[in-house]
Amino acid sequence: MVRKWAFRGVFAYLLFGLVMYVYLYFLADSSLPNSLKGTSADPETFMNSRELMLSEEYSTIRNLLFFLSTPYEWVFYFLILILGVSRKFENWAVETTKFRFLQTGIYLFWLTLTSFIAIFPFQYISHTLSKRYNISTQSFSGWMKDEFTDFWVNYLMMFVIVTVLYWLIRRFPKRWWLAAWALSVPFSIFLMFIQPVLIDPLYNDFYPLKDKQLEEQILSLASKANIPTDHVYEVNMSEETNALNAYVTGVGSNSRIVLWDTTLNKLNQDEILFIMAHEMAHYVEKHIYIGIGIYLLFSFVGLWIAAKWMNRLVEKHSESLKVKKVSHLSSLPLFLLITSVLLFASSPLSNWISRYQEVRADRYAIELTGNKEAAISSFQQLSKVGLSQVNPPFIVKIFRYGHPTMLERLKMLEEYEGKEKQ
């Protein structure tokens, strides 16, 4: 029975991978509509032939890796369960100590380590691919340092979450999901509060913007938008990547506007001000808090579904899954499997909401700066430097894109300008 289920799981994964390969390389359409030929949305107007070829190659491989890595994680959790590995980890933990929190720590260490090793090939391929296409500038040693930092940060966070979660499952067998959701509200806000000052600095150095003249202009823009802020931060990402980015992070007094130094080095002043205006829009329109609210709604439904599915699967397939009770630590891979599937299934909706917010931020930035030319050139530079597809395939868009495609962003600017001229 175990061999049959293992074979079915691996076969389904390979079949899915083959389908996605055929779709991405032979069926997907990323061509530009004829109506946009020669416009600012046409990549041939701002990329040379080599850059066009590389952007298609790089994007297609990255898309394939995404659609292979996500179900690979599901197969991993499934095999960990049916092969009895998860139960073995739990037995080791129980035999080592009588204290439950130490049992959780031991079990979680072995599960996290096994997961790290299993997922590492995809991580390494992604890193080498970025190096080959000159996106990543990070050395292998620097990349491995970040990987190990990720390992311990994720382990410590999961230790806290899993310890509390399984205490709740034992304490409230029928309503543990509701209690877990209630506790996730302050925990999520706490994480967003400490991320800029405790977590992010583990990976990079953050410091106030060095260019004080530019900072003054950005702060003037912030004042125009009624945003109370005293500093703009830059981060030394050029040691890791050539890509461009800027973002808003944190909540309350710990909220920050952050610019990558690559953005400062490769965009002109007007383009940087447009990017900053876009990020300010997220603050003005309270997208961070709306995002928290949407996350809480999704997590409420997700935890309820996860609890229902876990109870049914353990009740009907306890022997096959090698899990006696939901309250046993050995059921954790089942919980992670279900939540991962739910996250993937809900990503088209969550990405659509995110894209809607990004469109509003784009429009706000144009209105605040009054510089559509800078908006166009900044989007073109983002595509060029990041080797991004201007018009990605539909399935890729709905599952991967939390931002509008560059085609949609540049088309919106073209139409916006058209309205202005009338």
Catalytic site residues? Answer: 279
If you search the block for the tokens 């996350």, which residue do you land on? Answer: 295
Tokens linked to 412: 């919106």
The C-alpha atoms of residue 243 and residue 409 are separated, in whole angstroms, by 18
The C-alpha atoms of residue 390 and residue 381 are separated, in whole angstroms, by 12
**Dihedral sign, CA of 126, 379, 201, 140?**
positive
The CA distances from residue 147 to 120, 122, 238, 291, 333, in Å, are 9, 12, 18, 27, 21
Instruction: Tell me which residue of 345, 328, 324, 398 sits closest to 74, measured CA to CA.
Output: 345
The C-alpha atoms of residue 127 and residue 120 are separated, in whole angstroms, by 10
Tokens linked to 110: 């072995």
Partners of 246 in beta bridges: 259
Coil vs helix vs strand at 251: coil
Is the Cβ–Cβ distance between 355 and 251 less than 8 Å?
no
**Dihedral sign, CA of 351, 354, 356, 359?**
negative
